[in-house]
Chain A
Amino acid sequence: MRPAPAIALTGISKRFGPVAANRDVSLSVAAGSIHGIVGENGAGKSTLMSILYGFYEADAGEIRIAGAPRRIRSPADAIAAGIGMVHQHFMLVETLSVVENVVLGAEGGAFLKGGIGKARTALARLSRDYGLAIDPDAIVGELSVGLQQRVEILKALYRGAEILILDEPTAVLTPAEADQLFALLRALKAQGKTVILITHKLREIMEVTDRVSVMRRGEMVSHVATAETSPPALAEAMVGRRVLLRVEKGPHERGAPVLEAVGLSCRDGRGTETLKDVNLTLHEGEIVGIAGVAGNGQSELLEVLAGLIQPSRGVIRLGGQILAAADRHPARLRERGLMHIPEDRQRSGLVTAFSAAENAILGYQHDPAFGSGPLLSPARIEAHAREAFAAYDVRPPDPALKTAKFSGGNQQKIVLAREIERGPKVLLVGQPTRGVDIGAIEFIHRRLVALRDQGVAILLVSVELEEVMALSDRIIALCGGRITGERAAEQADERDLGLLMAGVADEAA
């Protein structure tokens, strides 16, 4: 008889309000294997794992661990069942030491002395067994991201986890660190541990997993042995047989350069370089797409060009003129025709507590058209919104309605209307269709192409590679804040771009 699977989930469903995050999901993970779960953003992978870890309780379904049915209502239950989890955003206390983080919740007695001592010994043993060298007294906040992840894994192992779930573990790692992680996962497997690896990177799935399950829109769509599948087959399963994004797009007429960045670099608050020596030229009448894994400098590129953050080095030219520091300010740039549809409309692009009409003037609140002198005219603001909402088919077309009450697609249309309608010369676009329904996606894509045909220069950032490929005339790949290559749209293919995004430098560049 075959041994019971380490984990068996049957019929798991979970709703968040109107959204079904998981629908009748079943999954079986063999003991002592590495099991991959892939899917696009929002496919329900993280929700499923949060249910398994007791962060949420499923609305329906059964969980069996090593054959026995279990109710997992809290992380404590999960830990007791031998499940450990390494979250995408580390669950570490940065001010505490490594060993303090490891024992938190499993201190073994009211006083720390004994428990800490025991943990030191255990850490030394784990370090030896798996090659996880780490200073137990180092302060976690001062460690590199790779080492912090190591602490997370040690935390789980110290609690005696037999099943280890890793949620997008390589998203924050360098390629070398990722290779080390994979070696570790194999070592864990050799010791009989079960590993679940959640990722959207197919390369990783092919490299380390034994079996792989694919999720799409809250449902489990396929389970296969890794050896019997291929990246294209997985990709198809992830995306589904949906109509491939086709954007009606004529040939473009590239005009004069309007926006140029030369040697642009940025640093974040901790002094890490987020953009490195970026050179970029945007011409009239073209869409330039940025391809890259999230967190590789795309956000910073948009923000620095929009004047939201200041570069540490380099110059930006708009319409041939170098922008002085005072001009690198959102309001000044808007006056010069550089508009910006931000990546996260809820956090930066809109004030969701305001009425839709008020949001339709965000960034343009000083426009004389909306009032006289220091005063604003609600009537004029409302009339303006009414007109814009009609032109962009915002539903419901009610300017007085609170913005939070609009759907994602309609919120995005409010932003789009606001930024496009004033005739930009340059348009920076971040994640134009994130969380937007299909109908609105088409609408938004058509608008962007129409703008390009009118001669606007568009810079497009999107995590959806497919979208970048469908819309762009030219694609630039970013990795680690550096441009790793450039392709004309007609020459680009997914595999080739994937290599560039992974930082495999382009000989041509």
Chain B
Amino acid sequence: MDLLQLLAVILDSTIRLSIPLICAAMAGLWSERAGVVDIGLEGKMLVAAFASAVAAFATGSAWIGLSAGILASLVLALVHGFAAITWRGNQIVSGVAINMLAAGLTVVLGNAWYGQGGRTPSLEGAARFGDLTLPFARWAREHVPGLGLIYDEVVSGHAAPAYLAFLCVLVTAFVLKRTRFGLRIRAVGENPAAVDTAGLSVAGLRYGAVAICGLLCGIGGTYLAVAQSAGFLPHMTAGRGFIALAAVIFANWRPWPALGACLLFGLLDAVAIRLQGVTMPGIGLVPVEAIQALPYLMTIILLAGFIGRATPPKASGLPYVKER
């Protein structure tokens, strides 16, 4: 395999591995920019993966699967909102609860319904999102040297939710920066009292952001179960919700850098998979675990202020209480 081909393959798998991260990172970004800390991204994606696989299997439609995934994730997001916004509960505790609930419930229900130890049956045909071939992909591969191959391998050939994920980044960046709603979200995460005195509803805005967070986690989870895999496996999110959280921190709560961080973490993952069992001169067997641990280590180092500085939205994690 020549170098270009290898590069294209690695980049292609980078994209595939990044999609759930991108969705979850945008989800976390919305929630946290509005001042609601969410460590339950993992749980929401997991529930979405399960619900989408169940619905897709039952109806034979991947799109109905996607709707079900979003709906399930939305319900958990609203539970988090209810605890964090309406009852001013501890947002970390609530996030932990969401994760545990999702981890347990998906296996219990999956096992009860299908008796395969929590797995859902394999999805086939229209029950799964197939890879879309973009226009001119084949043609470009043959006629445009280099770039054509990249276009066909990397840009083209992903499932519909993958393109949706990239669209979400664009929309998130645009809405946050250039719309009324985005301005209000940015304000409510920094100083909810300012929003309140401007005659706006702090709770309303935060619920809105939390719901968007649920929606995006729903897309990410669905991609895992109905596009990347052909069904649900217990604990299939495998920490992606937390890597996404790391990406958000890494990007200082900004959408485009968050996309960059997700792609970087996806690349690390792709490289690690590629290097599994590979012996390198001088190193021996490549310790892929070191590569896998990198996103977490980088986040710790960043948070500690050794490189740059992470400044979260000022009011994140704090319930809004009117002062007397």
Contact = CB atoms under 8 A, between A and B. Distances in A.
Interface string B197-212: 1111000000000000
5 contacts: A75-B196, A79-B198, A92-B194, A94-B190, A115-B180
A104 B322 CA distance: 19
Contact of A94 (B179, B182, B191, B324): B191
Contacts of B184: 104-105
Contacts of B183: 96, 100, 103-104, 107, 112
Given A55-B322, A104-B187, A91 B180 contact: no
A113 interface: yes
B114 interface: no
A105 B190 contact: no
A169 B187 CA distance: 23
B197 A93 contact: no
Interface in B159-199: 178-184, 186-187, 190-191, 193-199
Interface in B65-110: none
Main secondary structure of the interface of B (DSSP, over half): helix
A95 interface: yes
A47 B314 CA distance: 27
A113 B186 CA distance: 16
Contacts of A78: 199
Contacts of A76: 199-200
A111 B184 CA distance: 12
Contacts of A113: 178
A103 B187 CA distance: 11
Contacts of B190: 93-96
A113 B177 CA distance: 10
B178 A111 contact: yes
A107 B324 CA distance: 28
Contacts of B178: 111-113
A75 B181 contact: no
Interface in A375-404: none
Given A76-B200, A107-B183, A112-B180, A91 B194 contact: yes
Interface string A64-93: 000000000011111110000101010111
A1 interface: no
| Residue of B183, B184, B187, B190 with most chain A CB atoms under a 10 A cut-off | B183
A110 interface: yes
Contacts of A79: 198-199
A392 to B, nearest CB: 29
A96 B200 contact: no
B179 A112 contact: yes
Interface residues of A, number: 34
A91 B182 CA distance: 18
Given A55-B322, A96-B186, A75 B180 contact: no
A110 B180 contact: yes
Given A100-B183, A110-B180, A93 B191 contact: yes
A79 to B, nearest CB: 5
B197 A107 contact: no
B260 to A, nearest CB: 21
B322 A105 contact: no
A93 B186 contact: yes
Interface of A: 16, 47, 53, 55, 74-80, 85, 87, 89, 91-96, 100-101, 103-107, 109-113, 115, 155
A74 B200 CA distance: 9
Contacts of B197: 53, 55, 75, 85, 87, 91
A74 B203 CA distance: 14
Contact of B193 (A77, A91, A101): A91
A333 to B, nearest CB: 31
A74 B179 contact: no
Contacts of B187: 93, 96, 100, 104
B254 to A, nearest CB: 12
A89 B183 CA distance: 21
A82 to B, nearest CB: 13
Nearest to A113: B178
A11 to B, nearest CB: 22
Contacts of A85: 197
Given A55-B322, A92-B194, A93-B191, A75 B199 contact: yes
Contacts of A75: 196-199
Contacts of B179: 110-112
B173 to A, nearest CB: 13
Contacts of A47: 324
A78 B198 CA distance: 10
A417 to B, nearest CB: 29
Given A79-B199, A109-B180, A112-B178, A16 B191 contact: no
A101 B198 CA distance: 10
**Top 8 A-B residue pairs of the complex, sorted by shortest distance between their CB atoms:** A105-B198, A76-B199, A107-B180, A91-B194, A91-B197, A75-B199, A93-B187, A93-B190
A91 B199 contact: no
Contacts of A77: 199
B62 to A, nearest CB: 32
Contacts of A96: 183, 186-187, 190
A112 B179 CA distance: 5
Contacts of B186: 93, 95-96
| Residue of A77, A104, A107 with most chain B CB atoms under a 10 A cut-off | A104
A74 B199 CA distance: 7
A93 B189 CA distance: 9
Given A106-B198, A107-B180, 4 more contacts: A75-B196, A95-B314, A110-B181, A155-B198
Given A104-B183, A112-B179, A91 B198 contact: yes
Interface in B135-164: none
